[in-house]
Chains A and B, each alone.
Chain A
């Protein structure tokens, strides 16, 4: 049977996929599709259902309801070993009784590649992951980073349609993790393999992906490319999960479309919203730490829209920047976080200092306050 594969037909397609374990809903009505050659990251806190989603695509779990299609074909009845999917596991799941080369040859043998092709392919993929000449090494003789590379080569050597990454980098230290993120990106671009990556690390998601799905409590919250996701989070959860964000609660006083005026503890603020609100509705404003300006007096707040007095509660030195936690009497108890990149090192605000904080209306994003569940389009 010839399956029509065109530029527009998605490689992976999930429609209304839910998974329940007893009374627990691990995945709630997930819908998305993934086109050939792109990198999708499913991002969310632990327990949000992202791994369950990945395991359903791999075929280790089957959806309670809904359909998964790969290459246009429904895969419910297809066992994992008949799917053309390479997976890198969180703990790598390498075979310790085989050498690195044997690990990479394993899928080729199991998928009945011609025996005379196998050594060449093993060499090629060792080369791609930059482990040339290490095929004879035993898994225990390799470093953590090298083991990662073997796991990647093993998942790719049989040229699968789809590569799944189940947080394989989460156990690495920061430096190695960042190095491997770039490696993944390089290998993915070299081979053009369609990839689904699961992580709780927002930086990794932003660095590695063409598209990001944010999940919380089993539900997809937003699907967007990294830039839109960061600049236009579609709800309060996404806004607070990505980046360092301060949340300010209040009630709507004036709700002209686009520009919302809402009353907080002791002041009124103006913010930006993409939906309509009723008068008196409870809302939450979200502002990123890098959008807030901190200054010693009102002169520093020139050109800004919302201007508040505050006191420095805490300052944290992060090398390239200071992170201030400010309490503003006008906002009640809600803390306000501010990044200050100060290349000239001359205005450190000390704990207890009185400061002025300010931001622009367009940077304060206003969301409905209730807990949000989104059924995506």
Chain B
């Protein structure tokens, strides 16, 4: 009778019992009051590795390359920074990266907002599912393959130019230029932005929109006066993620830009592996980190921390 009733308990519970017994051997009772600190382990791993890498790179950046030995000199100097900041090539790379980040963030949010809104508000479960699956599918494909996908569509003998030839139109240069890189990046960033916007839109609640309507606002004014301001945390969160991912992107400018539209990451790569100048590459890396950090700090200062917030107060 007793065994009968206990066998009706979920099997999971027995597994937990076994796990608990073994846990006691690994982590004795006397250690229990320190259990909370265990949760810090992933954060420490992340920050430790990051800080360690940054310290080393910061160190490299302060040593000039000795062209006689192709090693970094022992003496400290800011030569790498002055070289990076005074060179017109690097100046245009930095400006191009920042410009692209602004454009990509703008266009991504423009496209992501309706997507996220529809996904959250769709009444039919089928529509919701379709939008969700479409959102996650690109994650399985990866950036390089998707960039090549664009080559197939936009290339000299790609789909669009074949279509143009069929219509008797001249072939156009659709790749290896700035717009192609922006296009590729926007498509790549879209799912990230949607994922960060969706919870913010979910939090708005349908009744608030209905209230606005009953108070005399059509949907356009409801969107501008209620939905957009209330979605601010999501907009801030996705801006930060899209902006910084674009600023540090390597693959899209490399493949779709074809060397014509290098971003900072491409310049860093060249510094390390083409010029074998790890000092210059490190200096460029430090500039990139500084730029990204400055943007995030300014945005947080102006608009709050959004969905990435540290406190529950932000709405």
Contact = CB atoms under 8 A, between A and B. Distances in A.
B13 to A, nearest CB: 34
Nearest to A80: B213
Contact of B211 (A59, A87, A140): A87
A91 interface: yes
A93 interface: yes
Nearest to A140: B315
Nearest to A157: B215
Contacts of A154: 215
Contacts of A140: 315
Contact of B214 (A80, A94, A96): A80
Contact of A60 (B205, B210, B225): B210
A81 B213 contact: yes
Contact of B215 (A79, A91, A158): A158
Contacts of B230: 95-97
Residues of B in contact with A, size category = 10 to 19
A93 B213 contact: no
Query: Which of B213, B214, B225, B230: most chain A Cβ within 10 A?
Result: B214
Interface string B209-232: 011111111100100011001101
A81 B216 contact: yes
Interface string A112-150: 000000000000000000000000000010000000000
B207 interface: yes
Contact of A80 (B205, B207, B210, B221): B210
Contacts of A316: none
Decide if the interface of chain B is mainly helix, strand, loop or mixed. helix
Contacts of B213: 60, 79-81
Contacts of B205: 91, 93
A93 B208 contact: yes
Given A80-B213, A97-B229, A106-B225, A91 B218 contact: no
A154 B212 CA distance: 10
Contact of B218 (A81, A90, A95): A81
Interface string A74-91: 000001110101110111
Nearest to B213: A80
Given A96-B230, A97-B230, A97-B315, A89 B211 contact: yes
Contacts of B216: 81, 107, 110-111, 158
A222 B229 CA distance: 45
A106 B215 contact: yes
B217 A85 contact: no
Given A93-B207, A97-B230, A97-B315, A87 B225 contact: no
A260 interface: no
A77 to B, nearest CB: 15
A301 interface: no
A80 B210 CA distance: 8
A140 B205 CA distance: 16
Contact of A85 (B214, B225, B229): B214
Contacts of B210: 58, 60, 80, 87, 89, 93
Query: Which of B207, B211, B229: most chain A Cβ within 10 A?
Result: B211
A87 B221 contact: no
A94 B211 CA distance: 8
A86 B315 CA distance: 26
B174 to A, nearest CB: 43
A79 B212 CA distance: 12
A108 B111 CA distance: 32
Nearest to B209: A93
Given A89-B210, A93-B210, A95-B208, A110 B229 contact: no
A96 B315 contact: yes
Interface string A44-65: 0000000000000011100000
Contacts of B212: 95, 106, 110
A96 B205 CA distance: 12
Query: Which of B210, B221, B226, B229: most chain A Cβ within 10 A?
Result: B210
Nearest to A107: B215
A171 to B, nearest CB: 13
A115 to B, nearest CB: 15
Contacts of A107: 215-216
Query: Which of B211, B215, B216: most chain A Cβ within 10 A?
Result: B215
Interface of B: 205, 207-208, 210-218, 221, 225-226, 229-230, 232, 315
Given A60-B213, A89-B207, A110-B212, 16 more contacts: A60-B214, A81-B215, A81-B216, A81-B218, A83-B214, A86-B215, A89-B210, A90-B207, A93-B210, A93-B211, A106-B217, A107-B215, A107-B216, A110-B216, A111-B216, A155-B214
25 contacts: A60-B214, A79-B213, A80-B210, A81-B213, A81-B215, A85-B214, A86-B214, A87-B210, A89-B207, A91-B207, A93-B205, A93-B207, A93-B210, A95-B226, A95-B230, A97-B232, A97-B315, A110-B212, A110-B216, A110-B217, A110-B221, A110-B225, A111-B216, A154-B215, A155-B215
